[in-house]
Amino acid sequence: MGNLREPVLTDAELSTFEEQGYVRLGKVVEDGEIEALCERIDDIMLGKIRYDNMLMQLCPSAGKPELSRQTKEFKVTSLKYRKIQDLEQDLLFLAYIQHPLFRSITQKIIGEETSIFRAMFFNKPASQGVVINWHQDGAGGWGLSIPPKITIWTALDATRVANGCLQIIAGSHKSIIPQKGDLLSPEERAIHAPDSKRMYLEMEKGEVVLLHNWTLHRSEVNATNHPRRAFSVCYIDSATRQVSTGRGYPRIFPEYVPLAEQ
């Protein structure tokens, strides 16, 4: 058990999150559980385990542009997926999403009834991946009735500068910056994300960071010959609706209720 943290967000962590827009939470589950998530996601990429309704995108760097659109279908047996969303359908990922620490965090920051906007695998395949430029998640691009506040990002592999670790601008979460959508324009980047403010968030395998959705972040390609896998979950108030359709989202706390059963 050794180095696992307590499953409760402390007041000090909460104030760091409020001030800085991020807080490192350490490891929340045993290494074996992270390894099981890694094996499960590899099995999903390889098509050994299949789900009907999972949003999947092959990494554009895999050289098959016709398969790099995000659609709810399995594309090809490959470890070069970039994104796989809707992972709450998988019981192993669901159990992780419902970890008691994440319950404590959502109770303190969101409320009793919490859903997820997305539960997503973010991959930078070995020697590949794409650059994701400076953006704020859900600043304008997601069309939600209640602004999303938190993402819990877990490193499934150790992340370093060389394999495209997260880069953030601490304290940038206090206002919405982009004029349009979530991505900063070159002019906005020059003002709000100068190199002098960039932090490289290198993390160990299994380490977790709580991010405010508006904390500016980006990542580079993976220059190593090992994958850089990560699992990112955006928790939202269950009252949140997609403005254009009125659609809700899968409930996670107090218990899991898939959209189809709401």
Question: Using CB under 6 A as the criterion, which residues of the chain lie in contact with ligand AKG when the complex forms?
Answer: 122, 132, 137, 151, 164, 166, 217, 219, 230, 232
Question: Least separation, in Å, of the C-beta of 10 and ligand AKG?
Answer: 24
Judged by CB, which is closer to ligand AKG: 21, or 164? 164
Judged by CB, which is closer to ligand AKG: 128, or 232? 232
Q: Which residue is nearest to ligand AKG (CB)?
A: 219
DSSP letter for 133, please: E
The answer for residues whose C-beta is within 8 angstroms of residue 41's C-beta and 6 or more apart is 84, 87, 121, 156, 229, 231
Judged by CB, which is closer to ligand AKG: 90, or 137? 137
DSSP letter for 239, please: T
Judged by CB, which is closer to ligand AKG: 28, or 168? 168
* CA dist., res. 97 & res. 101, Å (int): 10
Question: Least separation, in Å, of the C-beta of 3 and ligand AKG?
Answer: 24
Judged by CB, which is closer to ligand AKG: 74, or 142? 142
Polymer length in residues for the chain: 262
Question: Least separation, in Å, of the C-beta of 175 and ligand AKG?
Answer: 18
Question: Least separation, in Å, of the C-beta of 220 and ligand AKG?
Answer: 8
Residue 192 CA, distance from chain mean position? 22
Determine whether 184 is exposed, middle or buried from the number of CB atoms within 10 Å of its CB (0-12, 13-18, 19+): buried
Question: Least separation, in Å, of the C-beta of 247 and ligand AKG?
Answer: 21
C-alpha count within 13 angstroms, C-beta hemisphere, residue 6: 6
